[in-house]
Structure 1
């Protein structure tokens, strides 16, 4: 933020010294140059005092006389007052930006890179050892208004990511948070977002009730979940949040935007549509959050994300939360954040599973999965009251497994991309309430969703990436609870065997011998743009033969 504040300050100063080019500060010349920007009251053109002829000045004077001296003088006084008011507003605006993140900007500009390690938490960035950035151990330590902390009454103390994030976010610093799902990330950025709105509103910087904060989410379900949290967080303070996403009619969302909103939560596709329609204006948004940033890029939303970020304030606070930190997300952060953002890692930014989840991997034949699934449900879901989440890979597979289980007497619902949004919302609601505690889902439910008390996750189909496997099993073992993840692994998945072995070993889990039979080789990552930069060669591959060519340039 420091770099952008400097630029903003420089622009403000240059507007006062226009025409000097930063060199000639002669007072007389400054007065003459100021007149160049003065509007002619009897025309739309800008009057250049150095080029205006004597005749034009006389005509201007004659017109003022015709309109009456007293009226002209009154108008001049009014314009002068308006000009002073505008200049004061601009000064106050800049002061407010500096006050809300000024000390943070100074830290970036004048500080040094530091790193603090405490247990499994690593905090890095400029001046992170400053006492004002000490972790918030108790909610009272945050020194926030009581209505803002109303949403935290159900918790005894801030979670680790909240404890570390709040001091930096409330100081206006750009922030990167890497933490596992279920760690309280939503309130980690939600409470500072509410405070940002209140500060802007109190300073009367906002025109009407346009959006001041933006939260981007990769999926509709996660957007709805974030919206539920932020609506609750802002209710006592009068901060209004609106959620926009695809798969539903636009008209209710348009109406919500037009009625006034403080925080917009949305998926990239629908939000971009509303911006292009002129329904949603983000030019006052100075607090931007990208939640599950890695997932958004994996789903191909990078062009929309870039377009949306470009339509927000140039001077803004940017926040990114992610469970992992791959190269594409790192590159996006470098482009849209300050050169020195704060980075807080809870646990590891490398691929690692929740250690509170017992992982069981079973290698079996593809055709035996149905019977094995039913057997496991009889074991894990015998009471038919505890929550069990079954993950599949494809949409049609989700429907087939749902119908198969229902035909065998199981009360099951499913959630996948082919279902209409209201059907997905209803299925998720039934599962959360416990009315239907058995749900079959594609990876649309693997990320970010806060589903309480999921005791067991069964991976009927192994996902396409090990990252998705880690996110799937992260639906259980949340908030300090223990969980079980039972995974089916077939020979079609053997290319991911090495990565899965590493995840199991890192978490201290049992690695079955049948899985080791596929080998422990870890496939090198490929560039999405250029593909692989290597070629795997088997150990028993024949040696290369030297090929010679006749010189075609020789003539007989």
Structure 2
């Protein structure tokens, strides 16, 4: 810039001299001055062109870092007074900055004009990681949704939070779910069993009821919240938690499931209920009878959604959801995220729900459980079971849950252990409701610390003090294995799962190896001998189950052929 001012000063000085000289001398001065200016302009233009070429080759940034020769202001001034190419490059930079603000990512090879857009991150695809917890969905990075570190941060009345008084702080799923659910957002939660999911959606449900009451003080009879679960054991477990939690704040919950009289359930509906916890089959019966009206149910939860669809309840679930309030807040909790569950979420949830994954969307076991897998011959299981009970159940004090596969097997193992002088109870699907309820009560109270059960107890049985799970028979799926061993190591406690694996189960060896490896457990050499191949699961209706499905994945497009001969 100083050089420019000096040139202007020289020109002014020479013009003054021209006015004082004869006409011929003035012409000489003008000619000389013009030649000198042309020469300077040419040099300056060459210099700018050279700088432009260097900049295009990615050298300008290198010179700036290595030599520090010029300031940014000087460069901008030179480019502003330089060639047209320099102006175009500056414009290109501004466009690039503008695009970056919109979320576009670039691959820069040193030439600004060669920038290539490789992806656009939309608002819906925002993801944030919190030490093993992945949060995604529209506006999920907003600071108002930051995970809670204490119960006080939830800003929930003390009478509602009374049910959490036995815990030091919220569990990971609670800490991440409450800010979204209390704000009315549609929510998808993927978390392992025993992670505190019931209160994760239970407390927001009670707050939803209290909020509706405050807005409309007229007496309500129809339920305001609906919670669907695949089994009556899980429904009962949710009800036990919410009935106790609701006593301090006046929120009334009731549980509907099959295999029992409808009389008490109908009486509860007539007297008025805030939260209905139900299995799909019984609830559909009550709706078809005209006894249960869900038109005001504006907070809806599907718990264990993957299991519900696996059990064939999809049509019932769709029918029930269509009866609820159209302006509802939808919540789905699932251990895994298969295609069928994803499609259900697309149909009934907001286009941009929040999705929180605690741990992994893949099949994963609770890391607080030590898994021991023992490969042995089938006929040796009885004696090995007795040996393990001597180890894990001395004096019959430690609480042990033994899983078998079939109902007849459950009865046989129960009689076998009773013949050994052990105090044991058993439950399976053919056991009547009264006996099942009594057996569970004895096991929960500690009156009988040994229970034999089929997979009816794999989900929904929440007994924090089960120290050991023994898989006498390996289940039909690895998913059921994960849920079985999840009956121990709950609420932050440690547990042990000892599993018998026989050659009849070899088709599941690869999946089991993956579960053990993910949890950092010892993999027995005899198990690897069966092979580590994992067959991709497929459904007759939905095809292969792929894990990489985001909460906001685009919906499928239906194509209609107007000229079809089949119509």
Superposed pair shares fold, TM > 0.5? yes
Do the aligned residues in 2 keep the contact of 1:363 with 1:514 (CA within 8 Å)?
yes
* 1:274 maps onto 2:264 in alignment: no
Equivalent position of 1:514 in the other structure: 526
Q: CA offset at residue 418 of structure 1? A: 0.3
Q: Work out the CA distance in 1 between the residues paired with 2:279 and 2:445.
A: 25
Equivalent of 1:164, from 170, 176, 186? Answer: 176
* 1:254 maps onto 2:251 in alignment: no
Equivalent of 1:450, from 439, 462, 475? Answer: 462
Equivalent of 1:362, from 374, 377, 389? Answer: 374
Equivalent position of 1:217 in the other structure: 229
Q: CA offset at residue 146 of structure 1? A: 2.0
Equivalent of 1:123, from 130, 135, 147? Answer: 135
* 1:423 maps onto 2:435 in alignment: yes
Equivalent of 2:483, from 471, 474, 478? Answer: 471
Report 1:29-428 matches (<5 A): 112-204=124-216, 208-428=220-440
Q: CA offset at residue 531 of structure 1? A: 7.0
Secondary structure at 1:454's aligned position in 2?
coil
1:47-89 Cα distance to aligned partner (Å, 9 max, x none): xxxxxxxxxxxxxxxxxxxxxxxxxxxxxxxxxxxxxxxxxxx
Q: CA offset at residue 508 of structure 1? A: 1.6
Q: Work out the CA distance in 2 between the residues paired with 1:471 and 1:176.
A: 19
Equivalent position of 1:523 in the other structure: 535
Q: CA offset at residue 149 of structure 1? A: 1.4
Distance 1:504 1:208, change over 3 A: closer
1:450-503 Cα distance to aligned partner (Å, 9 max, x none): 112111111011001111111111111122222111111111111101111111
Secondary structure at 1:148's aligned position in 2?
helix
Q: CA offset at residue 383 of structure 1? A: 2.3
Q: Work out the CA distance in 2 between the residues paired with 1:504 and 1:487.
A: 12
Q: Work out the CA distance in 2 between the residues paired with 1:346 and 1:270.
A: 31
Cα RMSD between the aligned structures?
Answer: 1.6
Distance 1:219 1:530, change over 3 A: closer
Q: CA offset at residue 410 of structure 1? A: 0.9
Q: CA offset at residue 288 of structure 1? A: 0.2
1:131-184 Cα distance to aligned partner (Å, 9 max, x none): 211112111111122221122222222111111111100111000011111111
Secondary structure at 1:254's aligned position in 2?
helix
Q: Work out the CA distance in 2 between the residues paired with 1:474 and 1:230.
A: 21
Matched residue count: 424
Q: Work out the CA distance in 1 between the residues paired with 2:177 and 2:542.
A: 36
Q: Unmatched 5+ residue regions in structure 1?
A: 1-109, 534-556
Q: CA offset at residue 400 of structure 1? A: 1.1
Q: Unmatched 5+ residue regions in structure 2?
A: 1-121, 546-567
More moved, 445-454 vs 256-265: 445-454
* 1:460 maps onto 2:472 in alignment: yes
Secondary structure at 2:388's aligned position in 1?
helix
Do the aligned residues in 1 keep the contact of 2:233 with 2:459 (CA within 8 Å)?
no
Equivalent position of 1:6 in the other structure: none
Q: Work out the CA distance in 2 between the residues paired with 1:528 and 1:233.
A: 42
Equivalent position of 1:73 in the other structure: none
Distance 1:132 1:531, change over 3 A: closer
Report 1:485-500 matches (<5 A): 485-500=497-512
Secondary structure at 2:332's aligned position in 1?
strand
Q: Work out the CA distance in 2 between the residues paired with 1:336 and 1:207.
A: 29
More moved, 367-376 vs 313-322: 367-376
Q: Work out the CA distance in 2 between the residues paired with 1:177 and 1:417.
A: 29
1:517-544 Cα distance to aligned partner (Å, 9 max, x none): 11111112122337789xxxxxxxxxxx
Q: Work out the CA distance in 2 between the residues paired with 1:206 and 1:157.
A: 36
Equivalent position of 2:450 in the other structure: 438
Do the aligned residues in 2 keep the contact of 1:206 with 1:284 (CA within 8 Å)?
no
TM-score (normalizing by structure 2): 0.73
1:290-319 Cα distance to aligned partner (Å, 9 max, x none): 111111111111111111111101110000
Secondary structure at 2:467's aligned position in 1?
strand
Do the aligned residues in 2 keep the contact of 1:133 with 1:168 (CA within 8 Å)?
yes
Secondary structure at 2:394's aligned position in 1?
coil
Q: Work out the CA distance in 1 between the residues paired with 2:435 and 2:395.
A: 26
TM-score (normalizing by structure 1): 0.74
Do the aligned residues in 2 keep the contact of 1:182 with 1:448 (CA within 8 Å)?
no
Q: Work out the CA distance in 2 between the residues paired with 1:206 and 1:349.
A: 43
Do the aligned residues in 1 keep the contact of 2:124 with 2:352 (CA within 8 Å)?
no
More moved, 436-445 vs 522-531: 522-531
Secondary structure at 1:126's aligned position in 2?
coil
The structure with the largest alpha-carbon Rg is: 2
Do the aligned residues in 2 keep the contact of 1:181 with 1:448 (CA within 8 Å)?
no
Q: Work out the CA distance in 2 between the residues paired with 1:432 and 1:160.
A: 26
